[in-house]
Amino acid sequence: GEDVEQSLFLSVREGDSSVINCTYTDSSSTYLYWYKQEPGAGLQLLTYIFSNMDMKQDQRLTVLLNKKDKHLSLRIADTQTGDSAIYFCAENGTGTASKLTFGTGTRLQVTL
């Protein structure tokens, strides 16, 4: 079945860039997503990329997709304390209606 993997924890200093990585196994994914979860809350869609793209930029966020290696990354420029959260990548695998497979989530800690 589909598998999505992320490292569990990342710590960065305020003002630095954060890079959160994700690998997936299903080559039929058409969209890949990044969601953010703040403590005790639901997930919020941050950004997504279509599988025929290799980069997407949205303000401080840059998504890079290496389809050959099945590797997705999220770069957050000028990381702020408000960026502290858990970040999930997700892929739609077979494309079956809304059957997203989520990674384990990466907890981003921003220190002063």
Partner 1 sequence: DGGITQSPKYLFRKEGQNVTLSCEQNLNHDAMYWYRQDPGQGLRLIYYSQIVNDFQKGDIAEGYSVSREKKESFPLTVTSAQKNPTAFYLCASSISRGDEKLFFGSGTQLSVL
Please give the residue ranges that form the binding site for partner 1 (CB under 8 A).
Answer: 4, 8, 31, 33, 35, 40-45, 48, 88, 90, 92, 97-105
Backbone φ and ψ for 67, nearest 5 degrees, come out as: -70, -30
Least Cβ distance, residue 44 to partner 1 (angstroms): 7
* Residue 76, helix vs strand vs coil: strand
Give the CA distances from residue 60 to residues 8, 18, 34, 90, in Å, rounded to whole numbers and listed in that order: 22, 10, 14, 20
Dihedral sign, Cα of residue 75, residue 35, residue 24, residue 8:
positive
Is the Cβ of residue 10 or residue 14 nearer to partner 1 in the bound state?
Answer: 10
Q: Which CB atom, from 44 or from 80, has the smaller least distance to partner 1?
A: 44
Nearer to partner 1, 18 or 88 (CB): 88
Compute the least distance from the CB of residue 77 to partner 1, in Å. 23
